[in-house]
Structure 1
């Protein structure tokens, strides 16, 4: 953990050394063996070839966060800058990421865990397709849970995945789904949502990364829409159109930003939390000490107490927000 701060907070500069460091730790035989031992099924949730998810089931001896009830569900929406990303990423050898997240959440924390693929721009993704696919996963889950006791669900988005989660929470197209799930009127109860390293504003005109600019234009449609449909602006529109009712129809939100995330993510995450709190939303802004943009999710499954502490803390904070 002590080496991660030395990589700095510039995103491009942190990527390679972070992956190399944490891939090596995940590939230690004792860690790889644990990750691969977790029960995993790959299932379709929709018609596109990218509409696949991995479902990780805890071992019987794993703690049950719900006590004697049905195990809660944890949905992980990975990042990748709208262009990359997969349930299994090549940057970590041995096909261990993001199985590391599924294994950790299932066997260490006791959650049935879903890691979902979704379309990227290379598969024709256009805003708000990320929200569409999160909605499809919830529909898939509801159909599987018909006739069973109500099951609690938590969702976490990382980086671009966090942008998709906020899109889903606040775009009007998903309002009825989010309202139903938040209220627990159906077969599922959405307890809380987490953004980890999420970009809430893009500051498009200030960008020096022209490659990212081109990706954002491809996904959002044009330069104007990049900023208009940034997560904070989507939430702003929902607040303006729904007034005080908006906070009653959304789940609590944890805005987690790493100490060494890029500055614009730290700044925009804090701004979003302040705006949502002022609108009556239940929200917490949390600086994850010692981590950068890449390290949190790759530290899950490393077996290190310090490395994994943030994930234990995240779930504690989500549970506290939900009550």
Structure 2
């Protein structure tokens, strides 16, 4: 049985909530945990976009992955004007801590228990930027390999975040939001994913989970260009480029909205296979 949106839970001492979705029962098997971090341009976004989508988005994303055996957690996080950089990433950190400390909230009836050695994070657009910032910025996590979150999170899936703000100028759409979030355009450019990545010493890259890049075929050109720059920077740090999945026939928004419709889901099936490979590698190392 698949249980959808079984719980909405407060995970920090404010009104910030997360939704937990439960997979079908699987006897004697633990379930990996997938956090989905929605986007929205830094000043919009919510766990379930209502009433415009009747609550189906992003429940549809969680349902897709829950049906494939994942405990899915969709946390809210602070938005502009209530948030400045890197506060949303700190909210994500607290959501992970909550999940690690509250296993009873991650099971319901006969759903499988959580596998805390198999945590994954998938962010879209601004949400993906917050995910990467969590692991790349010195203010968000301890810079030590034994940090629990760094040990537990096996992979991050980055869906077309704004990797590189170098081309953004005054007058661009949303530039005022960026300035509010980062405290200025220069600060935004200095702390985008590309520039955060450049400041990570090679010997510290082991503290960044393995990355999967996902981009839609019909992304805006500047986002595609930024992805090329980011992949090149990762390759220079690690000696190998990150795996990239292209969601064919989709734009920046449609690939997530298509999930649970039975059409246009191929990219997400590829994400599932990528995660399965990480799980297999972990199992081999454990033997």
- Normalised by the shorter chain, which TM-score bucket? 0.7 to 0.9
What corresponds to 1:195 in structure 2? 158
- The reply on whether 1:221 has 2:183 as its aligned counterpart is yes
**Shift in CA distance, 287/150, structure 1 to aligned 2, threshold 3 Å:** closer
Q: Deviations over 1:83-129 (max 9, x none)?
A: 1100111374321111111111112x11000011001114x100001
CA root-mean-square deviation: 2.6
Higher relative contact order (Cα pairs below 8 Å, separated by 6+ residues): 1
- The reply on whether 1:308 has 2:265 as its aligned counterpart is yes
What corresponds to 2:284 in structure 1? none
The 8 Å contact of residues 252 and 321 in structure 1, kept in 2 or not, is answered as no
**Shift in CA distance, 252/181, structure 1 to aligned 2, threshold 3 Å:** farther
Q: Residue 56 of structure 1 is aligned with which of 11, 14, 21?
A: 21
Tell me the TM-score normalised to structure 1 length: 0.76
What corresponds to 1:14 in structure 2? none
- The reply on whether 1:71 has 2:31 as its aligned counterpart is yes
What corresponds to 2:58 in structure 1? 98
More helix by share: 1
Tell me the TM-score normalised to structure 2 length: 0.85
Q: Residue 250 of structure 1 is aligned with which of 198, 203, 208?
A: 208
What corresponds to 1:295 in structure 2? 254
Q: Deviations over 1:127-163 (max 9, x none)?
A: 00121111111111221249x8743111001000011
What corresponds to 2:44 in structure 1? 84
How many residues align structurally?
270
* Pairing 1:264-279 to 2, within 5 Å after superposition: 264-279=222-237
What corresponds to 2:140 in structure 1? 174
What corresponds to 1:140 in structure 2? 98
Structure-2 separation of matches of 1:160 and 1:166 = 10
What corresponds to 2:244 in structure 1? 285
- The reply on whether 1:317 has 2:274 as its aligned counterpart is yes
Which structure 1 residue ranges, 5 or more long, are not aligned? 1-33
The 8 Å contact of residues 245 and 270 in structure 2, kept in 1 or not, is answered as no
Which structure 2 residue ranges, 5 or more long, are not aligned? 105-113, 282-287
